[in-house]
Chains A and B, each alone.
Chain A
Amino acid sequence: MKPFTYERASSPAEAAAAVMRHPGAKFIAGGTNLLDLMKLQIEAPTHLVDVNGLALDKVEATPEGGLRIGALVRNTALAADERVRRDYGVLSRALLAGASAQLRNKATTAGNLLQRTRCPYFYDTDQACNKRQPGSGCSALGGHTRQHAVLGASQACIATHPSDMAVAMRVLDATVETVKPDGARRVIPIADFHRLPGDTPQIETALQPGELITSVSLPKPTGGTHIYRKVRDRASYAFALVSVAAVVQRDGSGRVALGGVAHKPWRDEAADAALPQGAKAAAARLLAGARTTEDNAFKLPLVERTLAAVLAQARSAA
């Protein structure tokens, strides 16, 4: 790791201002992804602002009948929250499908959204990577691309977003609340939070410099059967090749989002509308415009089959 100075912030706005004040500064919360990357010098902050002491670790009911999840609520605590288990099961399931218990005990809600890709070319500092070093190229293009994106990728980057939780947040229409260095607050719909890579894959979210996530809110529960199905190379503790988050109602209507296929959780309202017609119709819409390589072409039939399994599970649960 490169040397860095360290401070504990006393309020969210002060934390945001502190990161703005120090060029090269970063927030640290759980640290499970940031410290991994700092050891590899993929991240090399010169100053860390520790936000763990900020009182952002509660899950609270909102006046609208939903839940406000503090940015610092740990993945284990969120998955185990009684209200989340009862009303937003897809979120509990997605969290429990991710990482290991040790990591979930540390990793936070906001940090989970902000985790970086596990593209092996991003991690290998001997390889070209536009995300790690803008303008250096993309060694994944023409490389081993079994894990890579089939939707929304660009010539600059074909990485996927690794989060399971974010896929569930997308299907639940969550919103991300932030505070900026000047103290101003804003609300970002989860659909607009993560970006596609385009020509600037190093810019992964809608956050501005110094902007701090304070909470993530869920709208009022919609009922239905909640399912998160993750397909991976091992039964546990591995990133998704493909995942499906779904909330399906008794009449067959519902919503669906995909993980493991793009630089962000993938959802398409036309696919939601096609869900009552079955997996083939919904998958066709979700995968419209997909571009594959020889290595990752398997993801297209895998999406359809995983979606079929999810819909069958929903029917048997209804």
Chain B
Amino acid sequence: MTESLPSSAGSVPTARVTLEVNGKAHTLDLDTRTTLLDTLREHLHLTGTKKGCDHGQCGACTVLLDGERINACLTLAVMHEGAKVTTIEGLGTPHSLHPMQAAFVKHDGYQCGYCTPGQICSAVGALDEMRRGIPSHVSADLNTRPLLSPDELRERMSGNLCRCGAYSNIVEAIAEVAGGAA
């Protein structure tokens, strides 16, 4: 059994955790309360992942954890010993964009850009879920592969809010990448 170090006078409980973030291992001693989001931003200085609502409602903090999209604000770093985390910084670089990043640029899938890293990580996760045949609320048939349609993409991206309202261009960007990958 793994236990955090007990709290001594004037200190708070901490625990050690090793995460592989964008291919690089990091071992950290963290206050047990530290969310994965705050770990990325405040401890590893990967500020691409954004804090919007901090309550799982907006999706700005979406990252890929062992390949699946999650809200980094609603999980503790200490719960993920040995996990692989991919943030927007790990998907592509300014000189070598991930296809989803390039598509967002091409289709103008943002205005202020604050939700964009979460939108892009979420979109990458969403297309992987479709490839794996995971149905959605709008899939007409649970027992056949989900069709690539604007309705499917809108439903699958409903956990990512964009206050600028760039949704129609976001759907076009994702659809282009999905079409190319199909």
**Most chain A beta carbons < 10 A, residue from B13, B54, B136, B137:** B137
The reply to whether the CB of A313 lies closer than 8 angstroms to some CB of chain B is: no
The reply to whether the CB of B154 lies closer than 8 angstroms to some CB of chain A is: yes
The reply to whether the CB of A202 lies closer than 8 angstroms to some CB of chain B is: no
The reply to whether the CB of A195 lies closer than 8 angstroms to some CB of chain B is: no
Q: Across the interface, which residues of B come within 8 angstroms of A9, CB to CB? A: 1
Contact of A100 among B129, B135, B139, B159 (CB under 8 A): B159
Q: Across the interface, which residues of B come within 8 angstroms of A300, CB to CB? A: none
Known: A100-B159, A106-B71. A93 touches B15 (CB 8 A): no
Known: A31-B74, A106-B74. A5 touches B156 (CB 8 A): no
Known: A6-B3, A7-B2. A32 touches B137 (CB 8 A): no
| Complex CA distance for A278 and B113, rounded to whole angstroms | 51
B86 CB → nearest A CB, Å:
14
Contact of B74 among A36, A52, A80, A89 (CB under 8 A): A36
Contact of B79 among A39, A50, A101 (CB under 8 A): A50
Taking a contact as CB atoms under 8 Å apart, the answer to whether B2 and A31 are in contact is: no
| Complex CA distance for A1 and B59, rounded to whole angstroms | 21
- Write the chain B residue with the least CB distance to A94: B137
Known: A4-B13, A32-B74, A39-B55. A101 touches B135 (CB 8 A): no
Taking a contact as CB atoms under 8 Å apart, the answer to whether B143 and A106 are in contact is: no
Give the contact-size bracket for chain A. 35 or more
- Write the chain B residue with the least CB distance to A226: B142
Q: Across the interface, which residues of A come within 8 angstroms of B35, CB to CB? A: 35
Taking a contact as CB atoms under 8 Å apart, the answer to whether A93 and B4 are in contact is: no
Report B83-106 CB contacts with A as 1/0, cut-off 8 Å: 000000000000000000000000
- Write the chain B residue with the least CB distance to A40: B55
Q: Across the interface, which residues of B come within 8 angstroms of A5, CB to CB? A: 3-4, 6-7, 13, 32
Known: A3-B13, A6-B15, A48-B32. A101 touches B74 (CB 8 A): no
Taking a contact as CB atoms under 8 Å apart, the answer to whether B54 and A236 are in contact is: no
Q: Across the interface, which residues of A come within 8 angstroms of B31, CB to CB? A: 3
Would you list which residues of chain B between 117 and 131 have a CB under 8 Å from chain A? 122, 125-126, 129
A-B contact pairs, 28 of them (CB 8 A): A1-B33, A3-B7, A3-B33, A5-B7, A6-B32, A7-B4, A10-B1, A18-B1, A31-B79, A32-B56, A50-B79, A76-B68, A80-B133, A85-B135, A93-B137, A96-B139, A97-B137, A99-B159, A100-B158, A101-B159, A102-B62, A102-B122, A103-B56, A103-B71, A103-B74, A105-B69, A236-B158, A237-B159
